[in-house]
Structure 1
C-alpha cells in the first residue's frame, strides 16, 4: 500500500507539472504571433527547439532505436506532430474554442478505448471527472460564441483529439522498458522533421526572432520566449506527462491534463491582461473539480477481482 500510494502521489505531481508546463505555451507564444509569425512556424520553433536541446539525450539513448523504433516513430508522428497539424488545420475552418473543445475529447477517447477495446473496467469517478472537465472546458473557451459548423473542420479537430489520445496510450504502452527521455527526445526529432514540411522554416522572419517582442508590458528578447517554449512547454511538459501516465493511468492522467487549459487562460489573464468572463471562471472551477474527481478514482492498492467495490464512486462502468 505504501508503494502504491507513493506512485499515486508522485504521478499526480508529474501530471500537474505537465499540465502547468503545457499551459504556459499560449501566453509565451502570443507575443511571437503578434510580431508576425505564423502559428505553424511558432509550433515548429517550439518542437525543433526541443529536438535541438534533447539531441544529446537522443544520442545517449541510441539503443532505443533498436529496441522500440516503432514506438519512437509513432510518438513523434501522432502526439507531437499530428496534434499540432490537425489543430491548426481545424482552426482555419472552425472557431478556436470549438476546435480546442473537440481536441480535448482525447481523454474521453482514452476512456472509451480502455473500456471497450481493452475491456478494462473504468471507475465511475474517473468517467464523471472527465465529463465534468469537458463541461468546464466548454465554458472556459465559451464554445457558444461564434459557433458555426464545418464538417471538414470538425473532422480535423477530431483528428487532433485522436492524436492527443495516442499521447496517453503510447506513454502507457512504453511502461518501464523505454526511458521517458528517449521517447521524448526521438519524438521531438521526428515531429520537427515532419512539421518542417508544413511550417517551411526557410520562410521564417529570422530578423524578428533575433530582436525583442512585447511581453507583459515589457520588451523581452524573442530567444528567451523560444527557449521557454522549447525547454519548459515542450520537453519538460512531455517528459512529466509520460512519467505521470506511467504512475497513474491514461484515463486519470487525461483527466488531470484538463488543468492545462485553466493554466493557459489564467496566465493570459495575469500576463497579457485577457480578462476572464463569469462563464470562464465557472468553467475553471468545473475543470479543477473534474481533474480532482478523476485522480481520486485511483485506488490505493489493486482490488481483487472477486472483491465488490466499496462505494458507488469506485464501481466500474
Structure 2
C-alpha cells in the first residue's frame, strides 16, 4: 500500500470530487427517468464497481469482506438511497443545507473513533459552511417534510460515518482497488431492494445512458477514487470540508445552464462557503499533523 504523503495535488484532486458531485442534481433531473431513486443509485454504483474490478483484477481478502460491505453500505447504499429520498421529498435547498451537516458530524465522530481532537477552527469552519450553504440555496418558501428531513440527516450521518471508518480501517489495497470494492458492495446491496421496491424501470434512452455514464464513471468511479485517496492522505477532517463545494457547484451550474437567478444572498453564501473550505482545510491539516507527531 502506498505511503500516504500529502502534496498540493492531493488537495486539488480531492476537492475535484465534490465539485463533480455538484453536477449530480442537474444530470439526474435533466437526463434520467424520474421516480426511481433506488434503481438510479444501483445503476450508478454497480456497473462502475464491476468495471473497476475488471481493471484492478483483485477481490478483497475474505477477512475484509464484512468491513468492505459495511463501508459500501455507509458510503453508497444508505447514503445514496437517503440522498435521493430527501431530494424527492424536500426542496433542493433544504436537502443540501441538511446534508451540509456532514462535516460537523465527521468532526464529532473523529474524536471517539480516531482520537482526533475537535479544534475551534474546524468547528467554526463546519458551522460557517452550513450557514453559507443555507444562504446559497435555501429559499424563503422552503417546506419541511419529516420523512425528507430524516432522510437528509440519515444520509449525512451515513456518509460521515463512512468517511471516518474508511480512515480507521484503511483496507490493505490501493485507493482504486478500495473504490472498486466499495462501489461493488454498495451496488450489490442496492440491487435486491431496487428490484423489489421499484419494478418497471423503463428501457433507457440514449440520453439516459449518457447520464448514467457520467454519474457512474465520472461521478462515482473517478471521484470516489479521488475521495478515498484523499481520506488516506489528508485525513477525514480535511477532506470533508471540501464537501461544501458540491452545493456551490450545483448553484453555479443552475445559473449557467438553467438560467437560475443569483442574488446578493447567494453571492454572500458562496463567499462564506469558500472561506469555510479554506479554514476547514487548514484546521484539518493542523489536527492531522499534531496527531501524527504524538
Q: Under TM normalisation by the shorter chain, which class is it?
A: 0.7 to 0.9
| Distance change in 2, residues 1:169/1:143 (3 Å) | farther
CA distance in 2, matches of 1:66, 1:102: 37
1:21 and 2:26 equivalent?
A: no
1:120 and 2:106 equivalent?
A: no
Alignment of 1:84-103 (within 5 A): 84-103=80-99
| Distance change in 2, residues 1:202/1:179 (3 Å) | farther
Kindly indicate whether the alpha-carbon contact (under 8 Å) linking 2:37 and 2:85 is maintained by their aligned counterparts in 1. no
Aligned residues: CA RMSD: 2.9
Kindly indicate whether the alpha-carbon contact (under 8 Å) linking 1:15 and 1:257 is maintained by their aligned counterparts in 2. no
CA distance in 2, matches of 1:191, 1:304: 31
Q: Which position in structure 1 is the counterpart of 2:69?
A: 73
Question: Structure 1: where are the runs of 5+ without partners?
Answer: 212-220, 308-317
SS of equivalent to 1:203: coil
Normalized against structure 1, the TM-score is what? 0.80
Deviation at 1:50, TM superposition (A): 1.3
Q: Which position in structure 2 is the counterpart of 1:218?
A: none
CA distance in 2, matches of 1:52, 1:304: 36
Normalized against structure 2, the TM-score is what? 0.86
CA distance in 1, matches of 2:212, 2:110: 37
| Distance change in 2, residues 1:115/1:143 (3 Å) | farther
Q: Which position in structure 2 is the counterpart of 1:38?
A: 36
1:175 and 2:179 equivalent?
A: no
Alignment of 1:200-215 (within 5 A): 200=195, 203-206=200-203, 209-211=204-206
Larger radius of gyration: 1
Kindly indicate whether the alpha-carbon contact (under 8 Å) linking 2:109 and 2:164 is maintained by their aligned counterparts in 1. no
Q: Which position in structure 2 is the counterpart of 1:217?
A: none
Kindly indicate whether the alpha-carbon contact (under 8 Å) linking 2:242 and 2:277 is maintained by their aligned counterparts in 1. yes
1:292 and 2:278 equivalent?
A: yes
Pick from 203, 212, 215: which aligns with 1:226?
212
Question: Structure 2: where are the runs of 5+ without partners?
Answer: none
Deviation at 1:74, TM superposition (A): 1.1
Deviation at 1:287, TM superposition (A): 0.9
| Distance change in 2, residues 1:57/1:300 (3 Å) | same
Kindly indicate whether the alpha-carbon contact (under 8 Å) linking 1:75 and 1:187 is maintained by their aligned counterparts in 2. yes
